[in-house]
């Protein structure tokens, strides 16, 4: 299970480099994707641990319910990150940007985790 989640995290970070710039600025710049991934990569280690705990202790194994739990945890983590980097002048922009990036990455992570799990089951 951990190997599957780590693979999902790596794939998510690689794909995120190309997807994040679509949501950040009016012009596509790969530098936004690299910037987003540089700050998200350490958080993905926490996401893997939390994802393992969610799947291990969750009574309801419905994919949509599991996604909602992952998304809630990502948004809580985003809020904590925004509060740690608190600046009254940029707080609204920071919370928006961090929540957006966190939501995108966790959505990609859950999708790739689900697809890899299905791939391993079919073998």
The alpha helices in the chain, defined as continuous H runs, are 2-19, 21-24, 30-57, 63-84, 91-122
**Cα(108)–Cα(113) distance, integer angstroms:** 8
Q: pLDDT digits over 27-62, tens only?
A: 788 887 887 788 788 888 888 998 999 888 888 888
Higher-pLDDT residue of 40, 25: 40
Predicted pLDDT at 27: 77
Radius of gyration of the chain (CA): 15
Enter the tokens of residue 89: 């002048």
The pLDDT, as a whole number, for residue 96 is: 83
Least confident of 35-49, 60-74, 86-100: 86-100
Could you tell me if 104 and 95 are in contact, meaning their C-beta atoms sit under 8 angstroms apart? no
pLDDT value at 19 more than 80 = yes
pLDDT at 115: 92
Which residues lie below 8 Å from residue 34, measured CB to CB, with a gap of 6+? 17
How confident is the model over 76-96, as a mean pLDDT?
79
Does position 88 have pLDDT exceeding 90, yes or no? no
pLDDT at 110: 92
As a whole number, mean pLDDT of residues 71-80 equals 88
- Percentage of residues of the chain with pLDDT beyond 70: 99
Q: What does pTM read for this prediction?
A: 0.85
Domain boundaries, the chain: 2-122
């Amino acid at each position: 299970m951990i190997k599957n989640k780590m693979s999902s995290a790596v794939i998510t970070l690689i794909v995120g480099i190309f997807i994040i710039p679509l949501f950040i600025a009016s012009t596509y710049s790969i530098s936004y994707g690299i910037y987003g991934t540089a700050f998200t990569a350490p958080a993905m280690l926490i996401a893997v641990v939390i994802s393992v705990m969610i799947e291990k202790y969750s009574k309801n194994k419905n994919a949509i319910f599991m996604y909602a739990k992952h998304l809630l945890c990502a948004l809580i983590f985003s809020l904590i990150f925004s509060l740690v980097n608190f600046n009254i002048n940029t707080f609204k922009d920071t919370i928006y940007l961090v929540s957006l990036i966190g939501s995108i990455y966790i959505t990609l992570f859950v999708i790739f985790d689900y697809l890899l799990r299905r791939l391993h089951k079919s073998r």
